[in-house]
Amino acid sequence: MAKRKTKYVCQECGYESAKWMGKCPSCGNWNTFTEEVVTPAGSGAFRHSATSTTAAKPQSITAIHSEKEPRVTTNLPEFNRVLGGGIVPGSLVLVGGDPGIGKSTLLLQVSAQLAEKELPVLYISGEESARQTKLRADRLGVKADELYVLSETNLQDIVRHIEEIKPAFVVVDSIQTVYREEVTSAPGSVSQVRESTSELMRVAKTNGIPIFLVGHVTKEGAIAGPRLLEHMVDAVLYFEGERHHTFRILRSVKNRFGSTNEMGIFEMKEEGLREVTNPSEIFLEERSQGAAGSTVVASMEGTRPVLVEIQALISPTSFGNPRRMATGTDHNRVPLLMAVLEKRVGLMLQNQDAYVKVAGGMRLDEPAIDLAVAASIASSFKDKPTKPDDVLIGEVGLTGEVRRVSRIEQRVQEAAKLGFKRAIVPKKNLDGWTTPSGIKVVGVNSVSEALRIVLGED
């Protein structure tokens, strides 16, 4: 009898080793290696021979016909925009998020909307029974005859049901519960997730069926399993938000059929998720009037401008080293901008604690928020409030200059739509576009010039 061969696989990154190790040399995590049986090379999927007549052949790029991908739209425009305009047939999409955030609720709503268009939809639940899924559907008011529910984790049975029903849309909740009988490791392991995703990708591409996979996340917020999982799929969506608050953010971090960094905002209601068509109003509705340290910035989330409040609190330090803290933005941005304000504007901030926060739970990483962060810090330090109808846009350089940003016209139009009366923007951005009515656009060259205007020191 042949001796069984085994290997040790890291469950975080997929690194393989011939012996057990306490620390993974690839990702650096401890106690993540598990023993798995090595599958013989010839027992897996069918392999093409070198003389196969069905193998793909090289083609000239000019001879390949390009066609616009047809898309299936849902009744949630926010969901459609994050995907790039709708669901592409044959695509494989991975949706990740914290437990209880609403991933299953969102996909069940989407499934019901497609089933109401008389498109057969197969919802596969590996974590809940069909009766539990029915209870959620009753809460959401789902009554669609073309929505089929299957509680199954065996991949061979799942593929058989897909080939029998021939659905127009498939949801697998979740990929960590699916297993292949040929792979000896436990469900959720690196080998099972990799092989199951590979088989579902083959089914999606050969039959033209869009398949949505729900993925668990680790305590750091990344999708559990090997990084290869995110490379195999066509799109990766993260469903974010605080579980104890009603707002949820669906963010695209990878999309082969549309732009990345798109964002859709939803509100969790008793009857399910409801899209938020104007997120700027949501983020600004609790803004304090006349408070020092508060400014508004027009930020871009993908192709959408969003107005967000930035708050800063500057107070004398009680320690030898002042604290610099930031929530919702890069923590390195705060000391950098404070150094610019101290060197170029003359504000003595070296003995001040600084706390900066992006209100509403948003996260902003683009450089166009620099001017608003600097104005918030200066406003709190001088205890002088900015005007409530001002919006600031601009990148700040280390020499104190205000540099141009992209899509200035869309940002200013969004500010004018919400009733802001004045926009402070880089002077280099003033040419080449028409100013919307009802708002005054002021161009500045430096941070000191912008602060004089914003704080009324002219």
Predicted pLDDT at 428: 93
Per-residue pLDDT tens digits for 355-403:
999 987 788 989 999 999 999 999 999 999 999 999 999 999 999 999 9
Question: How does DSSP assign 66-109, residue by residue?
Answer: P-PPP-B--S-HHHHHHTTSSBPTT-EEEEEE-TTSSHHHHHHH
Q: pLDDT category, 47, cuts 50, 70, 90?
A: very low
User: Which among 47-56, 187-196, 241-250, 342-351 has the top mean pLDDT?
Assistant: 342-351
CB-side neighbour CA atoms (13 Å) of 391: 29
Per-residue pLDDT tens digits for 281-322:
878 877 888 889 999 999 998 778 999 999 999 999 988 889
> Which residue bears the tokens 């049986």?
37
Predicted pLDDT at 184: 80
Task: Report whether pLDDT(194) > 90.
Answer: no
* DSSP strands (E only) in 319-433: 324-327, 352-358, 390-392, 395-396, 402-403, 422-426
Task: Report whether pLDDT(44) > 50.
Answer: no
Question: Strand, helix or coil at 285?
Answer: coil
Predicted pLDDT at 213: 95
CB 196 within 8 A of CB 155: yes
Query: Do the domains 282-454 and 71-276 match in fold?
Result: no
The binding site comprises 97-104
Predicted pLDDT at 270: 85
Fold held by 71-276: Rossmann fold (3.40.50)
**Helix residue ranges, H only, 210-319:** 228-232, 279-284
Task: Report whether pLDDT(269) > 70.
Answer: yes
DSSP 8-state class, residue 30: B
Question: Strand, helix or coil at 376?
Answer: helix
Per-residue pLDDT tens digits for 58-88:
989 888 877 777 899 999 999 999 998 999 9
Spatial CA neighbour of 199 closest among 44, 72, 325, 41: 44
Fold held by 282-454: Ribosomal Protein S5; domain 2 (3.30.230)
- What pTM value is reported for the model? 0.76
Predicted pLDDT at 50: 43
Task: Report whether pLDDT(174) > 50.
Answer: yes
Percent of the chain exceeding pLDDT 90 equals 57
Q: Which residues contact 7 (CB under 8 A, 6 or more apart)?
A: 16, 17, 18, 35, 36, 38
Percent of the chain exceeding pLDDT 70 equals 92
List the domain boundaries for the chain.
6-40, 71-276, 282-454
The binding site for ATP comprises 97-104
